[in-house]
Amino acid sequence: MNAKRVLSGMRPSGKLHIGHYVGALQNWVALQNDDGYDNYHLIADYHALTTNLDTSNVEEDSIEMTIDWIAAGIDPEKSPIFRQSQIKQHAELYLIFGMLVTANRLERNPTLKDQIRDLNIKQVVFGHLGYPALQAADILLYKGECVPVGEDQVPHVEITREIARRFNNHYGEVFPDPEPLLSRAPRLVGLDGDAKMSKSLNNTVLLSDPPETVEKKLRKAKTDPQKVRKGDPGRPDVCLIYSYQKVFNSDETEAIDADCRSGALGCADCKMRVAAKINDELAPIIERRKELEADREKVRRIVIDGEARARETAEATMREARDGMKMGALDV
């Protein structure tokens, strides 16, 4: 059985947090270690421009993110890591795909509407509107058959499928019809209890945080407002800390639930229990991270090597696409 091609990626946001880890990285590592999948990992630096034109930190942020990817278990020998901006075929295929999707279709994209609302965007730039067409190019340039996404990203994958079909109908079968691989991992709420983890909201636990920092952050985390002190009955179903327990301490959640409701378990003790479990999970990641931070030139070489491998695949796909369009190189 041939392995299915998988394209995964993130915008370069620097150091990652435990929300990235449970929401994406654990799944990426599992797919990488499954012989049924062939993985490519994209540093989506062009995508970052859709909401922020400041590129002064993009290179450093890309390196920091790559360090976290590798420390969390991504093996660049198996799964090439590469920057979108360094593979010119992304822009070329994006241009072609932009001719195959209407502005009205892009405007109906619910993810775009959510971003405009959440970021309070007053004027949508052309590149932001066309984000799904660039994402389609990212996926189909590597003939991605599976795309690991959260439920909120499924509409983007559907637009990719529509573009692939339209190209194939016009120019012959070049691109696969990719399927979303829905992550079953929960989206971790930030330490403030109000929104998902985000560095801009300062409500995260970073993968690089040492144990004492994790404990300090967890002590300040929001809990059930009705449980003021030990002895008060708690409501685990509305408690941020209990949601972390379910992810990092699943073996003890039944007992924690009962003790919280009865008042036998106080919030401070509950927080330190989950902090210990998070620190156990992060310990090997932090250790690997230290080795990579000590040799950042090695990390740069890993990315450059990944780009060479990705470029080879991208060039082959574009030759096939151009030939189908009768826009290939002229015979000499």
The pTM for the full model equals 0.93
- Any idea of the CA torsion for 93, 94, 97, 98, to the nearest 10 degrees? -150
Instruction: Please tell me the distance from the alpha carbon of residue 203 to that of residue 189, in angstroms, as a whole number.
Output: 9
Q: Which domain holds residue 58?
A: 4-188+296-324
Cβ atoms of 16 and 24 within 8 Å: the answer is: no
- Domain co-membership, 59 together with 166: yes
pLDDT at position 139:
97
Cβ atoms of 240 and 271 within 8 Å: the answer is: no
Number of domains in the chain: 2
Q: Which CATH number belongs to the domain containing residue 135 in this structure?
A: 3.40.50.620
Instruction: Write out the two tokens for 85.
Output: 């901006």
- Domain co-membership, 166 together with 268: no
Instruction: Report yes or no on 305 lying in a domain.
Output: yes
Query: In tens digits, what is the pLDDT along the chain, a chain of 332 residues?
Result: 588 999 999 999 999 999 999 989 999 999 999 999 999 999 999 999 988 899 999 999 999 999 999 999 999 999 999 999 999 999 999 999 999 999 999 988 888 888 788 778 888 889 999 999 999 999 999 999 999 987 778 888 999 999 999 999 999 999 999 999 887 766 788 999 877 888 888 899 999 999 999 999 999 999 988 888 888 888 999 999 999 999 999 999 999 999 999 999 999 999 999 999 999 999 999 999 999 999 999 999 999 999 999 999 999 999 999 999 999 877 65
- Any idea of the CA torsion for 154, 190, 125, 140, to the nearest 10 degrees? -30
- Domain co-membership, 167 together with 213: no
Instruction: Report yes or no on 330 lying in a domain.
Output: no
- Domain co-membership, 266 together with 162: no
End-to-end CA distance of the chain: 39
**Residue tagged 């990992």 (tokens):** 41
Instruction: Report yes or no on 197 lying in a domain.
Output: no
- Domain co-membership, 183 together with 89: yes
Spell out the residues 6+ positions from residue 300 whose beta carbon is closer than 8 angstroms to its own: 63
- Domain co-membership, 9 together with 143: yes
- Domain co-membership, 43 together with 97: yes
Helix 267-293 to helix 58-71 angle, to the nearest 10 degrees? 110
